[in-house]
Structure 1
Amino acid sequence: MAAETAAPAESARTWLVGLVRRTAFAVRAALSRRDGRATAVTVAAAYLVAYHLGLGHLGLRAGAVVSRPRFDLVVVEDPVALATRRVAPFQYEPVALLSAGPVEYLFAPVNAVVGLALAGLVGVTLAVSVVAWRGPAACRIGAGAGAAAGLPGILSGVACCGPAFLAVIGVQASAGLLAAFRWFLPASVAGLLLTLLWVGSQVDPAAAR
């Protein structure tokens, strides 16, 4: 009986290890191509900028003159204590203000880490999507995987920027709607990871050896 129980567990473990290995192969294959790398970098950079714009941490300084560049850096008195103070779901207090010419950037360490992680995940997912669509043989997957791989990336931008977006367009958000935004980030991350694993499941096992 013990041997029969151990066999399915070992089989599931072997399947999961193989799935992760095939997914890693698909990611490496996508990033080894020029179009895959260009997609990953471009999408990640654009997402990171949009992420900070949505949070209101990146914008133009009032009264700034482009012809007179000015660089200022202001740091709060206790940045370590302030950095982990949450001001909204998945939003934390900025600890520094950087002004470079007409551009202002509020630096919040936790927000920056979350943004970088999301940007990287979205960039990699869409890079795999593009490569799967343009050259499915490069990842040993079907071309149909490319269209599905890009869908979860759209939702992830709503996770942290949703309340700010509602404020910009002037929508009166109910408490229930605002509470729903708390689930967008984990749901988006889970969707992106599951998409990558699903793409990995389409990889020819022999190609990942």
Structure 2
Amino acid sequence: MESETAAPAASPRAWLAGLARRTVFAVRAALGRRDGRATAGAVTGAYLVAYHLGLGHLGLRTGAVESAGTPRFDLVVAADPVALATRRVAPFQYEPVALLSAGPVEYLFAPVNAALGLALAVLVGVTLAVSVVAWRGPSACRIGAGAGAAAGLPGILSGVACCGPAFLAVIGLQASAGLLAAFRWFMPASVAGLLLTLLWVGSRVDPGAVG
């Protein structure tokens, strides 16, 4: 233990490398369990759906009429999708380039938004997977049991990362310009919180379990 305590002062680079190695070990151990994989998959999928719902890119088509019980499939692509894809309409929000309709469901596809949403959803899913495994079986990751509850917090709070204004509209709040402007910081703050949480969990991994 003395060598582990002295490592940050003696060799910060070695300590950081060890921290990253232990964090990767914790994530791999969590995803190596069935409950960890189930949590990561379910949370990632649910978060990605909620993300697109919050942006207004996923919803029900109004006035859609089905013929002969067969879902109607439509795909409309913008004239210049490459130029449109990188046009920003709000902080961390970009223009859609295609409209996909399948039955009563409509989906606006914005490549940058989809990539951001997927990255954030995976990060939330992995963080909560580690949280569940740390809570249910801390010895599986050589993690202290107290890491479970703390690891889940950033994943829950990051739900307003890009969808805050939409959530305010749903609950009927009249938001001021200052409050709406504050939402631009939610995405980077959420990502930083999730990464720091994973690193903190990694710092609680038993170094002897990492070869």
TM-score greater than 0.5 by the shorter chain = yes
Partner residue, 2:59: 59
1:118-170 alpha-carbon deviations (Å, 9 max, x no partner)? 00000000000000011111100111101100000122121110112222233
Aligned length: 203
TM-score, normalization: structure 2?
A: 0.93
The offset of 1:103, in angstroms, is 0.4
- The answer for unaligned runs of 5 or more in structure 1 is 1-6
Measure the CA separation in 2 of the matches of 1:141 and 1:65: 54
8 Å contact from structure 1 (residues 155, 184) kept in 2: no
Cα RMSD (Å): 1.4
Deviates most, 66-75 or 122-131:
66-75
Cα deviation, residue 172, structure 1: 1.8
Aligned residue runs from structure 1 range 163-178, under 5 A: 163-178=165-180
Unaligned runs of 5+ in 2: 1-6
Partner of 2:40: 40
Shift of 1:10: 6.3
Please show how residues 1-209 of structure 1 align to structure 2 within 5 Å: 11-65=11-65, 67-209=69-211
Question: Aligned-pair distance for 1:74?
Answer: 0.2
The percentage of aligned residue pairs carrying the same residue is 87
Q: Deviations over 1:163-208 (max 9, x none)?
A: 1222223322111101100111100000000000000000001111
Give SS of 2:162's match: helix
CA distance in 1, matches of 2:51, 2:10: 42
Q: Which residue of the partner structure matches residue 3 of structure 2?
A: none
1:42 deviates by 0.3
Is contact 2:8–2:15 with CA below 8 Å preserved after alignment? no
What SS does structure 2 have at the residue aligned with 1:73?
A: strand
**Cα separation, 2, equivalents of 1:187 and 1:163:** 16
Kindly report structure 1 stretches of 4+ aligned residues shifted beyond 4 Å.
7-10
Contact 2:135 2:148 in 1 (8 A): yes
Whichever residue aligns with residue 77 of structure 1, its letter is: A
